Amino acid sequence: MSYFMIFELLGGVGLFIFGMRQMGEGLQKTAGDRLQRFIELLTTNPLAGILVGAGVTAIIQSSSATTIMTVGFVNAGLMSLRQAVGIIMGANIGTTITAQLIAFDLGNYSLPAVALGAFLLFFSRKKRFKQIGQVIFGFGLLFLGMTVMQDTMLPLAESEAFREFFKTFGAMPVLGILVGAMTTALVQSSSATIGILISLASVGAIDFAIAIPILLGDNIGTTFTALLSSIGAKLAARRAAMAHMVFNVLGTGFFILVFYLVPGFSGHLETFFQSIAEYFGHTWNVQRLVANTHTAFNLTNTLLWFPFVAFLTNLVIRMIPGKEDILHKGPIYLDERMLKTPAVALEQAHKELLRMADLAYVNVGDARRIFMDEEENLMDNFYEREEAIDALETAITDYLAKLSRQPMDESHSNRLNNFFHLINDIERIGDHAENVVELAEYKMEHRLPFSDKAVAELDNMFDRVMQTIDEGISSLSTGDLATAVKVLRFEDEVDELENEYRENHIKRLNEGLCYPGSGIVFVDILSNLERIGDHVSNIAKIILKDRN
């Protein structure tokens, strides 16, 4: 095999992968964010997860992408490990659609598809037509890549050295599994590996018995992408990625045992698929044989392990032990069935408001540690909680909007209106905490120095603000008027401290004791902390108004 042939082959693989990704991205853009919402909503049990995983993967043409999305959902607390296992099983089925597609001999249509797709993609003014053009363009490139690979591999069918090399895989299937796994891990696409296999088989370079172990290894290699995406993620996300690997390794192990233990297994399989094709009046070919085997393996593997989802889940938990710390970004207490009972619905909204306030309180505390102690390891969790605060703001607002359309007495109506104000104040506390973290990032990036006096003043300001928030949440929880009055007193002290420390800063700046860049950050921190105090004060005023 010459260097020119190697580059031709790599070029064909590159066209194939690029085309597949263009097609998948186009389909994903056409579906929009509905795909992710679809995954989130329709995974209440493993069976639903299998159907969703298969459907979404068939659309976006990538089991790795589906698994990475699933890992993300688990990491965000939107999905349990048990639900994730169902989606992973389904993704393995959905990814076989690509193999079925490329088994059709559509190489003659590749260039017309590229031309039509490029025209729509680059010259159409409408977004929808551009997306359709991207799908057609990717479709054409995919089959153009297949044609290049097949043409490149045609001389290999007559190479005795090449045939002898691949006969090793027929005699030692484990080597074939390793080759399939490494190839897929390298190109980050199981479909690309299947495409190479189909190309080799179509020109007679390898026979069916040799293709099976490589095909099985392909399913192991595709799990590496999800494993890489879970590095640094939460425990639950790492478990989800590991579940993908365990599921595929166990399935591959089972089938390779069958391959070893059943004499002439590949021949029986070939006869079986040939008989089915002839029964339905279809023309049999080796490309379709490889594609059907890929589908049959993943489908059978899912059917085999579906009854043991709980076992797989527990196995992964034992492999990666530890206590899960999952943050639920969505609402926990809101129940639309209670909307017809305003008193109960308001109590549910009140509980979610307290959850939202607690998250904001924790984030202010973490913002303090990130700024004062430069604890950068807290930033991922900080931003995750900020997302949860924003999600709760939307969910509670929507819930209250629906509740407002229900008949209710004046006291409930007043309380509902107060809740709308509370949502805004709590969300703004979270936003100001985020501002503090952004200032901390700026401080660390530019290595800004702060005097001991400035550090002591900021530390004291944080102390007072944290105490104010703590009392504010307490008054929101209990409705205690004395606590609300205490919050107003604390907020006055926060205002006084802000004025005092701002004047001290100006004095230090005039005396040349303060670095100007640090001074700007110092003033911004004071301003954000003072605004947090204002929003907590608003909460206390609402409590006083509601109780009087």
Candidate from 91-105, 361-375, 382-396 with smallest mean pLDDT:
91-105
Closest CA to 484 of 416, 404, 418: 418
CA atoms of 399 and 334, how far apart (whole Å): 7
pLDDT at position 51 is: 79
With 80 as the cut, is the pLDDT of residue 419 above it? yes
CA atoms of 288 and 295, how far apart (whole Å): 10
With 70 as the cut, is the pLDDT of residue 462 above it? yes
Residues 6+ apart with CB under 8 A from 426: 353, 356, 357, 360, 389, 393, 535, 539
CB 495 within 8 A of CB 530: yes
pLDDT at position 129 is: 85
- Long-range Cβ contacts of 542-545 (<8 Å, 24+ apart): 542/418, 542/421, 542/422, 543/475, 543/476, 543/479, 543/481, 543/484, 544/481, 544/484, 544/485, 545/418
- 73 CB-side CA count, 13 A: 26
pLDDT one-digit tens code per residue, 119-160? 888 888 888 888 888 888 887 887 787 677 767 766 655 666
Domains of the chain are 3-319 (no CATH), 336-547 (1.20.58.220)
CB 543 within 8 A of CB 481: yes
CA atoms of 214 and 520, how far apart (whole Å): 61
pLDDT at position 233 is: 66
pTM of the model: 0.57
pLDDT at position 408 is: 87
pLDDT at position 379 is: 87
Coil vs helix vs strand at 325: coil
Higher pLDDT, 82 or 302: 302
CA atoms of 421 and 438, how far apart (whole Å): 26
pLDDT at position 166 is: 61
Higher pLDDT, 450 or 75: 450
CB 497 within 8 A of CB 461: yes
Top-confidence range, 94-108, 215-229, 237-251, 354-368 = 354-368
CB 84 within 8 A of CB 46: no
Coil vs helix vs strand at 514: coil
With 60 as the cut, is the pLDDT of residue 35 above it? no
CA atoms of 58 and 72, how far apart (whole Å): 19
Q: What is the dihedral of CA 141, 154, 291, 143, to 10 degrees?
A: 10
With 70 as the cut, is the pLDDT of residue 510 above it? yes
Looking at every residue in the chain, the average pLDDT score rounds to 81
- pLDDT cut 90: percent of the chain above it: 24
> N- to C-terminal Cα distance for the chain?
88
Closest CA to 317 of 533, 496, 80: 80
